[in-house]
Amino acid sequence: MSLLALLFLALFLSRSSSLDTLSASQSFKDGDVLVSGGGKFAFGFFSPGDSRRRFVGIWYAALPVQTVVWVANRDNPLSDTSGALSIDVWGDLVLHSQNGSALLWSTNVSSTLVARSSSPIVQLLDSGNLVLYADADKMFVRWQSFDHPTNTHMPYMKFGVNKTSGLNWSFTSWRSYDDPQPGNCTYKIDTTGYPQAFLYKDGKPHFRVGSWTGSHWSGIPEMTNTYILGISFVNDEEEVSFTFSTRNSSFTTIMVINETGTIQPLNWIDESRMWAPLYTGPRDPCDIYNQCGPNSNCDPDITSQYMCLCLPGFEPKSPTNWYLRYTADGCVRKKGASICQSGEGFKTIPNVKIPDTSASLVDMSLSLTECKQACMGNCSCMAYASANDIGAGSGCFRWHGDLVDIKTFSNAGQDLYVRVDATELGQHSKKTIQKIMAALAALFLLLLVSFLLIIKRRRDSWRAKLQDQMAKLDTDLPCYDLSFVAAATDNFSIANRLGTGGFGTVYRGVMSDGTEIAVKRLSEGSGQGDEEFRNEVNLIAKLQHRNLVKMLGFCLQNKEKILIYEYLPNKSLDAFLFDESKKSLLDWRLRFDILMGIARGLMYLHQDSRLRIIHRDLKASNVLLDSAMQPKISDFGMARMCGGDQSEGTTNRVVGTYGYMSPEYAMEGLFSVKSDVYSYGVLLLEIVSAKKISSHHEETSSTNLVGHVWELWKEGRCVEIVDESMDVDDPQSLSEMLKCIQIGLLCVQELPRDRPTMSMVVFMLGNDRVLPLPEQPAYTMKKSNMGPENSTSDGAASVNQATISIVEGR
Ligand SMILES: *[C@@H]1O[C@H](CO)[C@@H](O)[C@H](O)[C@H]1NC(C)=O
Ligand SMILES: *[C@@H]1O[C@H](CO)[C@@H](O)[C@H](O)[C@H]1NC(C)=O
Ligand SMILES: *[C@@H]1O[C@H](CO)[C@@H](O)[C@H](O)[C@H]1NC(C)=O
Ligand SMILES: *[C@@H]1O[C@H](CO)[C@@H](O)[C@H](O)[C@H]1NC(C)=O
Ligand SMILES: *[C@@H]1O[C@H](CO)[C@@H](O)[C@H](O)[C@H]1NC(C)=O
Ligand SMILES: *[C@@H]1O[C@H](CO)[C@@H](O)[C@H](O)[C@H]1NC(C)=O
Ligand SMILES: *[C@@H]1O[C@H](CO)[C@@H](O)[C@H](O)[C@H]1NC(C)=O
Ligand SMILES: *[C@@H]1O[C@H](CO)[C@@H](O)[C@H](O)[C@H]1NC(C)=O
């Protein structure tokens, strides 16, 4: 009887001791498990999710959902079940594949701890901590899994830094739900300045969980000591650490750094048999680190305007970028602010996440009043706030320099006191006087400008009259003999053909003196009489502008109507822009000069020349480049010469190129200078992006470039459209590019009256003014069976890949 009892006792003892511990003499193979004393955790081999690979780790033994909280061999998975754990002669717990050849993982303490242990033993505690003791009496801990966290913060585990050993308790996400290898997200405490918790993504700060301000992290105000969690924070000479525990042992709570880039405290819910997040961060766009740039405040609840607001007394550093929702530059002190004279003070911004404290001064002994005095007394102090919200708000943060990463909470957060000058403090008298002065100055300027304009008009009209008279005296353009043209083009040989389009065919020619020319042979049936044609040519030949192709002569003989132009060897813009190898030749300066030149040429056609000419077919292939890469618009007189001689109106003969055509022109035949402006806007977007108007964009499911840019613009991402072959790191270029995109979008607006004129475009390109916000662009042409790039014209002319262009040889 007593023997039996003894036997039972022995059995019980041996089983219970072998359940949660492993000693040096024991082996541990795939399939074996240690279970902690209270049955809460298990340790052994497992395969995560759908993976077949084997890892060694710790998981909740009793939960119906596999929840792994720690992994040993993250970097070295086993491909089969041949793994085995043991304690080696040095006293380390090691993982080998069974044939003994490969060491896959080790606790690796013997290399740093000299003392050898006599009888090391491993135990899995009911907290989920796997501990390697030096001896069976468990007095000395050689190693513990809680010091080597993976992606899960468990109760009683420390998060932070041991300042003595330099050991960090930080977390790194898995690579994916079934791959525990280290992923891209890391959660750790940065001890620069006043310690802060950061979630890093790809090594860069992604979400500043913030500084500990007494009862919570400044970025997660709701996560305080609650009935679920008990929290302790230590910041002394030896360590900075954050620990939590559950208030009631029946609660199961962990904090996971998710592979998707979030921090989630999770609570196990027995009824639903699943983990429920208590919180998920980052929660809104304002949680993303430095979302609005320095010296601004991000408020996710603002619906009437953009969420980024400059702090009081500050204004956007680059207004254009700011209104384009590119806010990385942030805000700077308003011009003329004098923050360090008598009368200045502080403005309170309530309910905020206080700025990055990595460069702030901290003094826990100061009260808030003393804090204010300390900040007031030093002109470089930008702001102050309480460092401890427990009690009467003791402790003092002071910031010198930029204030970074501020956010407004709807119903939490603390007060931030930002230094402002007297004007900002509401001493209005001075401000009002300044305003009145400014208004007066503006009025005066306006009068002066209108006066000058009137004088200029007068002078222009005199000059125009004078020129009209001069023109009559002008010798007209030379009229060449057909035989001369035939000789120059080798009898219009196919070898010399440069391009064909709606109006006719272009040939390259060489005159007897060796000068190269471009010869445009108009197709028959323009319906113009000879005298009409001659007059028209002479009119158009008088259009002289450095951004227009020059006409040299013409030929009118045997029903042939031929125009002779200068020849430009650098071909057309599209040959550079849409060529992978050549587009990098067009750097941003060059592109800006090109789009400025085109705008000037077009402005001249629209208003500065005596003929008002609407081009009606502006596109990249109609812009030629001279040897200095100066843009020259070609084909500019064609619409007029071929029967469309109104300057505004309707036509049933639509010439143009789909994609570049404004909707009112493409669909109703309505044309005006504003339809050219539309084409210019398209061309501008093409130049910035080096993408064709017809290009299709999967990510925004837009059928063309205009729609794509608009989608990106709405999301504040239009910097993404900029051609990668240009240097976007130069902030000045980048701000110009963004300005151009905005101008492009203004030009392609739905309603012609909303679009700017070309002279406004030239002004906007050349000046740094705040631009209006564009409306939704015109109905973006869906791909039809006509194809996006086909030119159309009435039945008489051919429909081709491009409308006729002077030099298009390839
Ligand atoms: C031992 O196992 C490792 C890893 O599983 C494998 O790469 C190696 O080829 C094996 N060696 C022998 C001799 O079986
Ligand atoms: C063990 O640690 C030493 C020094 O810290 C290091 O050089 C070595 O690579 C580590 N070995 C393993 C297997 O991790
Ligand atoms: C920090 O590291 C030192 C040296 O390794 C050690 O003595 C001390 O116990 C550690 N402190 C904590 C809180 O782990
Ligand atoms: C701990 O973090 C500090 C900086 O935060 C770093 O310099 C140090 O190398 C880290 N130590 C370890 C063991 O990762
Ligand atoms: C991690 O970052 C690298 C480099 O940024 C990227 O190539 C990789 O796809 C990322 N991995 C995951 C899982 O996001
Ligand atoms: C812990 O929670 C259980 C059920 O949720 C409850 O019955 C029990 O009273 C709680 N214990 C304490 C100490 O609050
Ligand atoms: C990560 O978050 C996603 C989405 O919230 C969730 O489906 C997944 O289970 C989470 N992973 C972990 C390890 O908690
Ligand atoms: C103001 O504060 C800055 C930063 O702490 C310090 O370098 C400077 O000496 C202070 N100036 C005065 C006048 O106290």
Rounded to the nearest whole angstrom, what is the distance from the C-alpha of residue 85 to the centroid of ligand 6?
A: 39
Q: Is 400 in the pocket of ligand 8 (CB under 6 A)?
A: yes
User: DSSP assignment, residue 73?
Assistant: -
Ligand with smallest separation from the Cα of 243? 3
- Tell me which residue has its CA closest to atom 7 in ligand 4: 166
Give the distance, in angstroms, between the CA of residue 313 and the centroid of all CA atoms in the same chain: 27
d(Cα 275, Cα 68) in Å, to the nearest integer?
Answer: 13
Catalytic residue among 617, 635, 676, 723: 617
Residue tagged 């300005």 (tokens): 739
The domain made up of 570-807 has a fold known as Transferase(Phosphotransferase); domain 1 (1.10.510)
The number of the ligand nearest the C-alpha atom of 143 reads 3
Instruction: Please report which ligand is nearest the Cα atom of 170.
Output: 4
pLDDT at 459: 67
Mutate to test the pocket of ligand 6, among 226, 227, 250 (most ligand atoms within 8 A of CB): 250
Nearest CA to ligand 2 atom 11: 108
Is 184 close to ligand 5, i.e. is its CB under 6 Å away?
yes
Q: For residue 98, count other CB atoms closer than 10 A to its CB.
A: 15
Q: Which fold has domain 474-567?
A: Phosphorylase Kinase; domain 1 (3.30.200)
The ligand 7 atom at the shortest distance from the C-alpha of residue 277 is 5
Task: Give pLDDT < 50 ranges for the chain.
Answer: 1, 3-18, 428-429, 469-473, 645, 781-810
Counting every residue, how long is the chain? 810
Residue 791 CB partners (closer than 8 Å, separation 6+): 501, 502, 617, 655, 656, 657, 799, 800, 802, 803
Cβ(774)–Cβ(713) below 8 Å: yes
Measured from the Cβ of residue 118, the count of other Cβ atoms closer than 10 Å reads 10
Q: Is the CB of 25 under 6 A from ligand 1?
A: no
> Which pLDDT belongs to residue 525?
61
Give per-residue pLDDT as tens, 720-773.
899 988 877 788 888 899 999 999 999 999 888 899 999 889 988 988 878 888
The span from the CA of 47 to the CA of 57, in Å, is: 10
Q: Is 280 in the pocket of ligand 3 (CB under 6 A)?
A: no
To the nearest 10°, report the CA torsion of 411, 414, 419, 421. Answer: 30
Identify the residue whose C-alpha is closest to ligand 2 atom 8: 108
- Ligand 7 pocket, Cβ-based, cut-off 6 angstroms: 177, 256, 258, 260
* Sheet (strand 361-363) strand order: 308-310, 296-298, 406-408, 345-353, 414-420, 381-388, 394-400, 361-363
> Which of the listed CATH numbers 1.20.210.10, 3.90.1150.10, 2.60.120.10, 2.90.10.10 matches domain 1-148?
2.90.10.10
30 among known catalytic residues: no
The answer to whether the 149-283 and 570-807 domains have the same CATH topology is no
In this prediction the pTM is 0.58
Centroid of ligand 1 to alpha carbon of 71 (angstroms): 22
* Ligand 3 atom with the shortest distance to the CA of 163: 1
What the block records as the tokens of 263 is 């921090």
Ligand 7 centroid – CA 258 distance (Å) = 6
pLDDT computed for residue 351 by the predictor: 92
Instruction: Tell me what pLDDT residue 403 has.
Output: 96
Domain boundaries defined on the chain = 1-148, 149-283, 286-420, 426-471, 474-567, 570-807
Which architecture, in CATH terms, is 149-283?
Orthogonal Prism (2.90)
Q: Which residue owns the Cα nearest ligand 6 atom 1?
A: 248
pLDDT at 689: 93
Alpha-carbon distances of 681 from 250, 599, 687, 705, rounded to whole Å = 65, 10, 10, 11
